[in-house]
Amino acid sequence: MVYILNRSGIIEKPVKPTIRIGTPVYDQEGNKTGILLLNYFGENLIDELLLAGANISGEMMLLNDQGYWLISPDPKQAWGFMFNNDHAFSNQYSFEWNTISSSAQGQFYSENGLFTYTAMSPQSGKTKTVHKSDHKVAMGNWVITSRVSPQTLASARNDFINQNFWLYIIVFTLALFGSAFASRLWVKHKHAEAQTEYERGFRTILENVKLAAVSLDTDGNIIFCNNHLLHLSGWEKNDVLGKNWFTTFISEENRTTCKKIIATAITSSTGAIIDEGEIITRQDESRLIAWNATLSYDIDGNVSGITLLGTDITEQRKNEEQLRKLSQVVEQSPSVVMITNSHGNIEYINPKFTQLTGYTLEDIAGKNPSILKSGETSKNEYGNLWQTIMTGGEWRGEFHNRKKTGELYWETARISALRNTNGAITNFLAVKEDITERKLLQEEVETHNQKIQKNKELAAVGRMANMIAHDLRNPLSSIKMSMQILEKSATEFLGDQEHELISISRDQVKYMESILTDILSYSRPENLHLEWLSLDKLIELAILTTQKQLEEYGVSVSTHFQPGLPTINGDSIRLRQALSNLILNAAQAMENNKGKRLIQIEARLQLTDKGTSVLIEIIDNGYGIETEEIEQLFEPFYTTRAKGTGLGLAIIKRIIDQHHAEIKLEPVESGGTKASIIFPTVPITQI
């Protein structure tokens, strides 16, 4: 800048901007000899700068690195740093100057308008190249700045919109449609690529799965078939691709139904098909397949085909059918079937079990079969059972079990283990059969056989008794008569010793005669002469019959009869004989009793499972009987006394059995024996 001063030292105007360049001058020896100054008139530079910015909308400004105007829209504000005034851009636009001085170039909005700026070096005359590392205007640089006021911006925006509105609307619409069309083409292209990639991956998966897979177009033609289906059907890929699915794999009788199912799945656009159907192999064999379906779509979203995935369930259905038949067999079996888990808890019973025992599965599920125990099977037997089945063997045996009602029944059982594919025991199977009737029949047969055996024994005894009666009775009678004559005719010649010997001999003969009488009575059972009898009178008559023997044993008898006892149907002679023998047995049992010898006889009415009956009890206070001997006491020729044939109780049992009555002996806790006889109140012929 060149200043022109007047004589008073005041700068004359107008000021002329000048660029002064100085450089030192040296001689040949390198000594400084002076300074060369070059003044460049800056007006030309400023005019060129203003001319270059003439087309810029807004105010053109040139600022130095201190924020003073070198060029300003208001000439009075320019070169303020030369005149020591505060006319500086940095003062008027402090916020904007902070932004401009912080970087080499840029553009920003503020409340004062739109500012655009760039820094330049006056030494080079070129704008400064800006790098990321440049953060502010370098010292000595100038800043070219333009400002567009907010009013100018608003006016320019409105003019621009008014002049170009419809053009931009048309351009925007065309761009919108073009964009949409291009986007659709791009989406279709991407969709087609994705569809192709999906189908490629899907078919790769179908080739590797262990399922039958086939893809059909909408006409049912085969467009894909995996190796699993080919192996299953026996076809080669070239033999089936392009062929119709229905004519190649479906039998004629199933073809129409299959077409309808596939068509429905395609038209419904759901692909929801879960069905079982047969396919025909190349060898004309049928295989049952369980199918699932999924639809295929083209790039427009239309159904292009259907893919079927199937599992061969031929063997499974055969096994299920076999299991169904076996299940029906078990359910309808006349035998009892029970299945438990490995711990012995019940999991299944068939209807026959419920019919036999009364228990339903709800009653005993999860419980142990011991719920049926009657207590008659020993622990050793159960131990043997478990040892057998746990080692894989089959146990066979019989149980006497108890029903839900408490009734006992007999069953034969076969129990074995069930194993899984690994050989481990998972369950136990019990197959049982009700043998109660068979047991009863066996008991009847055994009883009948025993009767036959006894009859044979009786026949032998009868033959022997007849022989004894024929061979011994007459000699015994002769001996008895001879001793009576001898004792009567030679009384005066016999002493006391001889009389005692004769009395002993006569008693022995009498004892032998009683033995013969018992043998004959047991060996030759007589037919009954039935009539209706009053029990109290029958008992009193039996007591009178034995009165002499009772007095000899020193035994007293007490009786108690329930009032209104019904009459019984029987043979009076045979029953009196049985009752008399029981009374005499009771008297003989008290022979060694040093206390009071008493026989109690009671008769009363009682109700049993078999109906109304009359009970007679004969109780003594003798030496009693052993429990283990009770069953043997009624056997012929068995006796616990030194004297006797052992036929007394056997004869009594015979008479009681003939009257369809029951007799039993049992010890009395206080000492002695109780004989109980139960007589029916209905005619014997009706029993």
How far is CA 205 from each of CA 213, 299, 309, 549, rounded to the nearest angstrom? 10, 21, 12, 111
| More confidently predicted of 249 and 149 | 249
Q: Which residues contact 216 (CB under 8 A, 6 or more apart)?
A: 222, 223, 245, 262, 305, 306, 307, 308
**Exposed e or buried b per residue across 147-175, where buried means at least 16 C-beta atoms within 10 angstroms of its C-beta:** bbeeeeeeeeeeeeeeeeeeeeeeeeeee
Q: How far apart are CA 41 and CA 60, in angstroms?
A: 20
Average pLDDT over residues 209-229: 87
Q: Which structure tokens are listed for 49?
A: 């700068």
Contact criterion met (CB below 8 Å) for 410 and 356: no
Residue 53 has what pLDDT? Answer: 60
C-alpha distances in Å from residue 91, one per residue of 73, 94, 140: 16, 5, 19
Rounded distance between C-alpha atoms, residue 9 and residue 243, angstroms: 115
Write out pLDDT tens, residues 410-422. Answer: 999 999 999 888 8
Read off the amino acid at residue 326: L
pLDDT of residue 557: 92
pLDDT grade for 128, boundaries at 50, 70 and 90: very low
Q: What pLDDT was estimated at residue 192?
A: 59
- The percent of residues in the chain predicted with pLDDT above 90, rounded, is 14
Percent of the chain with pLDDT over 70: 74
Alpha helices in 268-346 (DSSP H): 314-332
| C-alpha–C-alpha distance, residues 271 and 445, integer Å | 74
- Residue 493 clears pLDDT 80, i.e. is over it: no
Whole-angstrom distance, CA of residue 538 vs CA of residue 661: 16
Task: Provide mean pLDDT across the span 199-206.
Answer: 67
What residues contact residue 400 under an 8 Å CB cut-off, 6+ apart? Answer: 374, 376, 377, 408, 409, 410
* pLDDT, position 615: 92
Is the pLDDT at 17 greater than 60, yes or no?
A: yes
Overall average pLDDT of the 316-332 stretch = 82
Choice between 56 and 369, residue whose per-residue pLDDT is larger: 369
pLDDT at 649 over 60: yes
Higher per-residue pLDDT: 570 or 651: 570
- 240: its two tokens: 């089936």
Of 434 and 275, the one with more pLDDT: 434
Identity at 30, one-letter amino acid code: G
Cβ neighbours of residue 344 closer than 8 Å, sequence gap 6 or more: 368, 369, 428
CA distance linking residue 232 with residue 252, whole number of Å: 20
Average pLDDT over every residue of 324-341: 85
**448 band by pLDDT with thresholds 50, 70 and 90:** confident
Do the beta carbons of residue 598 and residue 620 sit within 8 Å?
Answer: yes
**Highest-confidence segment of 8-17, 195-204, 326-335, 367-376:** 367-376
- Mean pLDDT computed over every residue of the chain: 79
Tell me: pLDDT of 140 over 70.
no
Each residue of 159-200: pLDDT tens digit?
A: 666 666 677 677 667 766 666 666 666 666 666 565 566 566
From its phi and psi, is residue 148 left (phi > 0), alpha (psi between -120 and 50) or beta?
beta
User: Tell me, what amino acid is at 183?
Assistant: S
- Sign of the Cα torsion 510, 512, 518, 520 reads negative
For residue 81, which of 71, 68, 94 has the smallest C-alpha distance?
68
Give the strand pairing for 303-312 and 286-297.
antiparallel
Nearest CA among 337, 316, 317 for reference residue 328: 337
Spatial separation of the C-alpha atoms in residues 79 and 71, rounded to whole Å: 8
Q: Is the peptide bond before 369 cis (omega within 30 degrees of 0)?
A: no
User: Is the alpha carbon torsion for 531, 535, 540, 543 positive or negative?
Assistant: positive
Q: Would you state the pLDDT for residue 74?
A: 80
DSSP letter (8 states) at residue 93: T
Q: Are the CB atoms for 338 and 369 separated by under 8 Å? A: yes
Q: pTM (2 decimals)? A: 0.40
Q: Quick check: helix, strand or coil at residue 660?
A: coil
Closest CA to 277 of 298, 260, 294: 260
- Which of 7-21, 283-297, 536-550, 621-635 shows the lowest mean pLDDT across its residues? 7-21
| pLDDT tens sequence across 261-295 | 888 887 876 655 667 888 999 988 899 988 888 88
What one-character-per-residue DSSP string does 563-595 give? TTPPPEEE-HHHHHHHHHHHHHHHHHHTTT--S
Give per-residue pLDDT as tens, 529-548: 889 999 899 999 999 988 98
Give the whole-angstrom CA distance, residue 509 versus residue 503. 10
Rounded Cα–Cα distance for residues 584 and 555 (Å): 10
On whether the CB atoms of residues 61 and 89 are closer than 8 A, the answer is yes
SS3 sequence of 493-552: HCCHHHHHHHHHHHHHHHHHHHHHHHHHHHHCCCCCCCEEECHHHHHHHHHHHCHHHHHH
Residues near 75 by Cβ (< 8 Å), separated by ≥ 6?
none
Q: Which residue bears the tokens 């190349």?
A: 282
> Cα Rg for the chain, rounded, in angstroms?
68
The three-point CA angle 132-137-141 to 5° equals: 125
DSSP letter, residue 131: -
Give, as one character, the DSSP assignment of residue 472: I
Cα 647 to Cα 577: distance, rounded to the nearest angstrom: 13
**Residue whose C-alpha is closest to residue 299's, from 183, 182, 189:** 189
Which of 87-101, 152-166, 183-197, 456-470 tops mean pLDDT? 87-101
Read off the pLDDT of each residue in 374-401 and give the average, rounded to a whole number: 87
Residue 623 CA to its chain's centroid (Å):
66
CA distances from 288 to 278, 309, 468, 627 (A): 4, 13, 91, 74
